Amino acid sequence: MKLIVTGGLGFIGSHYINEVIQDKSKKIYSFDFENYASNQDQLKKFKKFKNFFHKKINICNFNSLRKNFDIIKPDIVINFAAETHVDNSILFSKRFVDSNIIGTFNLLECSRLFLKKKKNHKFKYIQISTDEVYGDLKINDKKKFSENSNFLPSSPYSASKASSDLLVKAWYRTYKLPTIITHSGNNFGPFQNQEKLIPKTIINILKGKKIPIYGKGNQIRNWIFVKDNVSAIQQIISKGVIGQSYNIGGKNELSNIDLVKCICLLVSDINKKNSKKYLGLIKLVKDRAGHDVKYSLNNNKIKKLGWIEKKNFKQGLLETINWYMDKFNDF
């Protein structure tokens, strides 16, 4: 089986490859533009496997993609490639339109043209998306977003992901391209780029730097350990229904301020130091424009495929903290 994995050196994409690379029946073709968020350490590890192949490709380059589709003749395409940082989307929105919308269009068209030339009944296109496409909830709202919830994105990032999801839905309905979409909560774990909240908090603690939190920090997020997200994606590829979408959410919903305080307490336990030292690093800053208040996902549909969230939130957080402490142990 041949898999094209776009964004193969990114956070979730590299964790996915790490899980499937041991299966020698799979040939994995990683496409990655190799920008600031790409993990070169993961690439070095993957290159040791004979069933792994990497190409430096920008998914915005249609001709390059088309050529490689014709050469590889993939059975599955999994699109992890995306610009994902909301702050950056506010400052550099065109990057997000190019990568997330034009890039997805190119992948869909390459898939369609490839199947038109060479029939492959095993073929699947998997679009990796986000819960942010649904918009947000009020702080005390008990509602959870389901796969049938309307899209109401708030940021340029979430708007670009919602747009790409709509393209995927259109290519399924119009061209009968066999597609599936995933919408996951906030992923965390080792190897995540330092711009994200959890790694930034850990690293700032280790450096003794202030930990900036937007507004009052009462924004609530749904957190899922990245390996649990990967196992859900594997289950969807294996058992998911073509043309459907699946929410992938964890059991863990907490505010940003409570999350940061939890990390401070866990690091103080590990270092045997007074937690007040780390809690004193927290600094509330001006809120982000259009900041979503609360995300909450109903994941009953993915559970019906047999998926189970395995990693306890505290265990996942400890594993993540220890990984960053080992990597940044010079501080």
195 is annotated as an active-site residue: no
**35: closest CA among 73, 81, 4?**
81
132 is annotated as an active-site residue: yes
Q: What is the DSSP letter of 219?
A: -
Catalytic residue among 32, 83, 132, 228: 132
Stretch (H or E) spanning 148: none
What CA–CA distance (Å, rounded) separates 190 from 22?
A: 19
The DSSP-derived string for 152-201 is ---SHHHHHHHHHHHHHHHHHHHH---EEEEEE-EEE-TT--TTSHHHHH
Full 3-state SS string of 77-98: EEECCCCCCHHHHHHCHHHHHH
Pairing label, strands 252-255, 220-225: antiparallel
**322: closest CA among 269, 278, 276?**
269
Question: H helices within 211-293, ranges in order?
Answer: 226-239, 256-271, 275-279
- Exposure on the CB side of residue 307, measured as CA atoms within 13 A: 27
3-state class of 29 per DSSP? Answer: strand
Catalytic residue among 109, 131, 136, 228: 131
For residue 211, give every residue at least 6 positions away whose Cβ sits within 8 Å of its Cβ, in sequence order, or none.
200, 201, 204, 205, 260, 281, 282, 283
Catalytic residue among 157, 246, 295, 324: 157
23 is annotated as an active-site residue: no
Phi, psi of 183 (to 5 degrees): -125, 105
Residues marked as catalytic: 131-132, 157
